[in-house]
A and B are shown apart, each in its own frame.
Chain A
């Protein structure tokens, strides 16, 4: 019964619907627990913080789609916010429209380092970005010399920008920041679903060997993914700077884990090849909603946030594994016992395939 439904509607649609229902469920749950929860202020508050995490999560999704991971994003956001603040303090006359471009360029430079090491030197992304997570952060700490960026040193328009509404509907205020994030997500969605170059991301992620044989330049796609995720982290850094004004060396700490969380909860397969930007947006919203709501929930201390986040990621991946197993079972029409063994091995085989691939290709 359920299988037939899944078959007709497609797994992606079902996944997003489930995610949406979970989101609604969480909102209903908290509105029964917290007074004055469900109102326009909730939207206003959540939408701003989701904007930053959504930008990073979209970049992370591009990387994860190609069967890689970028753990250095938090450090990139911190670096860009800090360095951009320094540049603006020294040259307050830079035209406002140029500033986000500079931010994205700085971010893309960091992304290029990751991309070069992963795509061209064939090093495992998890190791490279674990290392650059530390390296970028130590670059920031060393070059800051213990000083921090303050709101007073930034040009007036930047702080104003973070507070400006694009449009207002009743009590719902939609800031420019939110509009930018949604625009970026929309562009990424269209690019990934409607463009030949975008579809290549899925091809590379679901089977790098087949993609290579099909004439896709795998290296270029992987490099592109890291460049985009770096540039989007740069844009997020710009918004971070505008929103908070005061930037210390710990800015953006831990954002990489949240972005991985948003991507995985949003239904992107951690081994690449499947997922959608809409899912990622829902995942980012879900994580941020839990984050902000747990702080206001009287019954449980706010310190539960990370514990809940970790378990949520695990649950999402377990559900994903379960669903793809079902899919495989239906396709191959195998007995349960057979399936149990083969799915366990396919997961390993696919990882090993990447591993062999990275080891063999000169």
Chain B
């Protein structure tokens, strides 16, 4: 093999977005590990996941939604609504197990509601989910008003946190299983290829015989269902339900996905990128928390990160142009 060609391929790998994310992640881990001797312990790593497990679960499905060329701003409100519906049902005497199932179903219904307006009526997802961001949160508040609901059965309070596979708790196991499922769906199935196809050019996909409505509908129902699952897990972890459960989580979730290299206009991105980006954001938050930065400063930092991540194509282009002009100048 031509050695020049080989080094170019290595360079291309490093220059790819996943390569860049991997480098950032490695640096973050080294910095964090050298700052605190407890960072690399198993319990800290699990703890680091547990603190935002609900967000990262939703981020996996959000990847599918955005690659499909849509956006779902209502995920945090569905999380809140599912948690509140669970609390409401439980308080009205429904056994906790049944309440969980109903809350998950409600999430699916919310997703189907979004899907109806987006895929069948043809209103842009940005507008629909902005309206349901307000609406679903409103229904959550209708259910619990300004009360806080607690005193759930003991098995529910530990749901998701009890270690079931070695030290790994249930919610993390769900996360790992979901990674595998999403990876297979997105990168190893015809459904996934159709997702990319629709995301990069909806019309061509439609004329090529892809059932665009069905696929868009399925993605939004999945998004609603998984958000509800995340909402219930959140309620279980916190042990209480209030009207503002998961308020504003959509910002973190969308940031994670975009930082992972998924294009906001759809059609490109990968599960690997999202998973790497999840690890980066978790480590960054953990590192900032260890250095005593407050939650609000972390949110601000995430906002800046979000802007930077959509600037990536611009930056990449600028670098490429610089590189070209550098190569072009005779030495």
Tell me the A residues contacting B by CB distance below 8 Å.
69, 117, 121-124, 126-128, 130-135, 137-139, 141-142, 257, 260-261, 264, 270-271, 301, 303-311, 313-314, 317-318, 321, 341, 343-345, 347-349, 351-352, 355, 359, 362
Contacts and interface: CB of A to CB of B under 8 A. Distances in A.
Contacts of B303: 130-135, 138
21 contacts: A123-B314, A124-B264, A131-B251, A132-B307, A133-B303, A134-B303, A139-B300, A141-B296, A142-B296, A270-B126, A304-B138, A305-B138, A307-B139, A307-B141, A309-B134, A309-B138, A310-B133, A311-B131, A311-B135, A314-B128, A341-B206
Interface of B: 71, 117, 121-124, 126-128, 130-139, 141-142, 145-146, 202-203, 206, 243, 248, 251, 254-255, 258, 264-265, 294, 296-297, 299-300, 302-304, 306-307, 310-311, 313-314, 317
Contacts of A321: 121-123
A134 B251 contact: yes
A142 B297 CA distance: 7
A270 B127 contact: yes
Given A260-B130, A345-B202, 20 more contacts: A123-B314, A124-B264, A126-B126, A127-B258, A133-B251, A134-B248, A135-B304, A137-B300, A264-B127, A303-B145, A307-B139, A310-B137, A313-B135, A317-B128, A318-B117, A321-B123, A343-B122, A347-B122, A347-B123, A349-B203
Contacts of B243: 303
Contacts of B258: 127
B142 to A, nearest CB: 5
Given A310-B131, A314-B135, A355-B265, A138 B141 contact: no
Contacts of B121: 318, 321
A310 B134 contact: yes
Contact of B134 (A134, A257, A317, A359): A257
A123 B265 CA distance: 11
Contacts of A135: 300, 303-304
A231 to B, nearest CB: 22
Contacts of B124: 270-271, 347, 351
